[in-house]
């Protein structure tokens, strides 16, 4: 199978860099006039998929907002993923999994093995049990042409206590970025192993070795309703902005519930980021 990085490069060239989120947050369900029930979830998620799947290169469902409805929510997630992939979008499932040994392998099998009913193109993962704990996910992604987006520099206020901690002068985040750079070595046109770098962080710390040139994609959550702007993307990522997937959920989904309005909101955001990259 064609590696995820190559498929992502082709998709963003055709459809643009926006990674649109599907986050069935209680507040968004209410804003769409839907109840916080499995039926409301189904209507919300599949309407969002209908709007976003045909026009976005990547769509990122947030698994937790499906999981809270139990088996009915997981069934809706499966159907939503199928809708998105049928419409030509790559699906990045936001699950932030991280574990060791056979459990890590089980997560990899659940999301990155095409035989699984929850199979997607890529997932988010946490390296904070040690980057080596992700080896089953890395190996499974390589075997099946999938991808990983690994947490590196997130924008939550608790993050610096771990991610900015230093060992021999280098931050934990820098070591994560180093590992990703090694995994992507030699990939053309783009590696399959990306970093999650928040669009609202203060910046990268060059003195701690935090180079964002990893040869792979950079997922930038927090654009739009969470405060991240086009200028933040330019400021944080510099010449690596061409590899950024700016991620927006509430700003796009807030245009709903009508399919044309959600689609138009995604197209506007995509056009703005394309203009940034072309400037």
Residues assigned a catalytic role: 96
| Residue 243 Cα distances to 156, 202, 235, 274, angstroms | 22, 19, 14, 12
In whole angstroms, give the CA distance from residue 181 to residue 173.
Answer: 12
Among candidates 230, 197, 231, 199, which has minimal Cα distance to 214?
197
Q: Rounded CA gap, 160 and 123, in Å?
A: 23
- List helix spans (H) across the chain: 4-15, 26-31, 38-52, 63-67, 71-86, 101-112, 135-144, 160-163, 172-184, 230-237, 250-253, 259-278
> Which positions ≥6 away from 115 have C-beta within 8 Å?
none
CA distances from 240 to 2, 83, 216, 227 (A): 23, 31, 10, 20
CB half-sphere exposure, 70, CA atoms < 13 A? 3
């Amino acid at each position: 199978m064609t590696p995820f990085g190559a498929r992502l490069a082709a998709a963003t060239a055709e459809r643009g860099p926006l990674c649109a989120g599907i986050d069935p947050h209680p507040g968004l369900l209410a804003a769409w006039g839907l109840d916080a029930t499995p039926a409301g979830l189904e209507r919300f998620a599949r309407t969002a998929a209908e709007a976003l799947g045909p026009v976005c290169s990547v769509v990122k469902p947030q698994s937790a907002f499906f999981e809270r409805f139990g088996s009915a929510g997981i069934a809706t997630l499966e159907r939503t993923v199928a809708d998105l992939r049928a419409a030509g979008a790559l699906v990045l499932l936001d699950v932030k999994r991280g574990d060791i040994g056979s459990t890590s392998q089980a997560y990899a099998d659940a999301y990155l093995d095409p035989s699984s009913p929850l199979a997607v193109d890529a997932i988010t993962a946490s390296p904070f049990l040690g980057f080596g704990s992700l080896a089953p996910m890395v190996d499974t992604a390589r075997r099946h042409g999938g991808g990983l987006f690994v947490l590196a520099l997130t924008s939550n206020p608790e993050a610096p206590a771990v991610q900015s901690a230093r060992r021999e002068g280098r931050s934990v985040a820098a070591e994560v970025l180093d590992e990703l750079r090694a995994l992507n070595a030699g990939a053309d046109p783009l590696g399959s192993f990306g970093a999650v770098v928040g669009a609202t962080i203060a910046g990268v710390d060059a003195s701690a070795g935090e180079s964002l040139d990893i040869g792979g994609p950079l997922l930038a959550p927090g654009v739009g309703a969470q405060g991240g702007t086009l200028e933040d993307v330019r400021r944080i990522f510099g010449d690596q902005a061409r590899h950024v997937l700016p991620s927006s959920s509430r700003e796009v989904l807030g245009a709903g519930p009508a399919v044309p309005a959600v689609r138009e909101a995604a197209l506007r955001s995509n056009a703005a980021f394309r203009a940034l990259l072309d400037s």
